[in-house]
Amino acid sequence: MSVIDQARELGISLANSPEFMRMKQAQAALSQDEAVSGLLLELNQKKQELLSSLAEDSPNTFAAASLSNDIDRLSDQLKENPIFAELVESEGAFTSLIMAVDEEINACIGSDNRPSMDGINYNSYIN
């Protein structure tokens, strides 16, 4: 079996993992919930407005503060929503699984791909 075939099998295994299935179910539940989808849309719009406001030559600090308060309020509402909380938790669980797989692969090939504090892996330049 080729490495590509093994990678395909790994991909299929990940797609059939409880972590991935849980995450997909949470994504589907979120997309079907108009209230949560609306909150996310509004949150993203407020973030864009804030970024645009701050990019101006002389930003309106009152408007920026108001937008920041709106963003905090919307974020709090999302955090309290069980559908959104499930999505965040399930994505975290799947990310942990992917990181464990990556660590296992790196251990098998003798690689230490952990980035340094500045995000650059200097090990590849030394050897």
Domain boundaries, the chain: 3-107
Q: What gap in Å lies between CA 72 and CA 125, rounded to an integer?
A: 43
The pTM assigned to this predicted structure is 0.73
Dihedral sign computed on CA atoms, order 114, 120, 124, 127: negative
Mean pLDDT score, 46-58:
91
- Class of CATH domain 3-107: mainly alpha
- What is the percent of the chain where pLDDT is above 70? 87
Q: What is the pLDDT of residue 57?
A: 85
